[in-house]
Amino acid sequence: MLHVAIATRAFRRYSTYRAATLAGMFTNSVFGVIYSFAYLALWRANPTAGGYDSVDAVTYVWLGQALLMTVALWGGGTTDGLAERIRTGDVAIDLYRPVGLVGWYLAADLGRAAYHLVTRGLGPTLLGLLLFDIRLPASTAAGLAFLLSVVLAVVVSFAIRFLVAASTFWLLDDAGVRVMSGALAMFFSGMVLPLTLFPGWLGTLAHALPWSAFVQVPNDIWLGHHEGALLAALGFQALWALVLLGACQVVLGAATRKVVVQGG
């Protein structure tokens, strides 16, 4: 119950910044339109690139825009607050609480993600539906699997962002690591280009890395490319989620044992 309460309050917390939300929705929409035309040009040259047709490709663009903030692709989210609290030493207060830090921040991040999904996710997608030919999920099952996949995407992304934030315990500032992690996420999530376009071993590698769980996997579930292998796709995300959350616990344990909480 505590974690539900944390999540609902995180949702409310983000909803207090209305102007930022509107500005963000506008940005997502503009990029959605630009990317859509770029992809349409690409698929006119090669109508079956990556195993997608042009409708798949434009749908992929808008799903990507919807997931960008939801999974906090290039950082942001509640883990930024955590990094700041480690930097200033305020994390000491969090550690006094009779609650695990990972579960607590995960709950808050899921609340945040829910807010970003219904605002910065749904809003631009509706515009995309009006302006372009967009594919809807093949079945109710695919739609539900997509939602579950988005939750898992947020968890995997959270775990990576948590590890980045936790590096502050040792590095005193996580800015460098965050930029690097954001660049990796941008490329290997399939946000810039679908991973199905990557040739040979690079494609194989990209599909196996945890970042593919951010965008590529949920998008392919929506588009029906995992039809018949839904469980394998969701299992891939769940496995990375478990492994990375375990890593978060280990790193946090090492941090609290060894490192001084900064500031007095």
Partner 1 sequence: MNQPLVDVRDLSREFVVRRRVAGRRRRVRTTVAAVHDLTFQVGAGEMVGYIGPNGAGKSTTIKMLTGILVPTSGHLRVAGLEPSRDRMTLARRIGVVFGQRTTLWWDLPLRDSFELLQRMYRIPDATYRRNLDTFVDLLDLGDQLDTPVRQLSLGQRMRGDITAALLHDPEILYLDEPTIGLDVVSKGRLREFLRTLNRERGTTLLLTTHDLQDIEALCDRVIVIDHGTSVFDGELSALRGRGGSSRTLVVDLVDEAPPIEVPGATHAGSDGPRQWLRFPADVSAAPIVAAVAARYEVADLSIQEPAIEDVIRDLYAR
- Which residues contact partner 1 (rule: CB under 8 A)? 1-2, 5-6, 9, 12-13, 16, 88-90, 92-93, 95-99, 256-257, 260-261, 264
- We find the least distance from the C-beta atom of residue 216 to partner 1, in angstroms, to be 33
- We find the least distance from the C-beta atom of residue 123 to partner 1, in angstroms, to be 22
Nearer to partner 1, 53 or 80 (CB): 80
Q: Cα 184 vs. chain centroid, distance in angstroms?
A: 13
Nearer to partner 1, 48 or 88 (CB): 88
All residues at 6 or more sequence positions from 144 whose CB lies less than 8 Å from its CB, including other chains: none
Handedness of CA 241, 8, 10, 23 (dihedral sign): positive
In the structure encoding, which two tokens stand for residue 206, read together?
A: 């990209």
In the structure encoding, which two tokens stand for residue 207, read together?
A: 């599909």
CB 106: neighbour CB atoms within 10 A? 24
Nearer to partner 1, 53 or 84 (CB): 84
CA atoms within 13 A on the CB side of 233: 27
Nearer to partner 1, 3 or 147 (CB): 3
- We find the least distance from the C-beta atom of residue 68 to partner 1, in angstroms, to be 23
- We find the least distance from the C-beta atom of residue 92 to partner 1, in angstroms, to be 6
CB 196: neighbour CB atoms within 10 A? 19
- We find the least distance from the C-beta atom of residue 167 to partner 1, in angstroms, to be 18
Nearer to partner 1, 16 or 140 (CB): 16
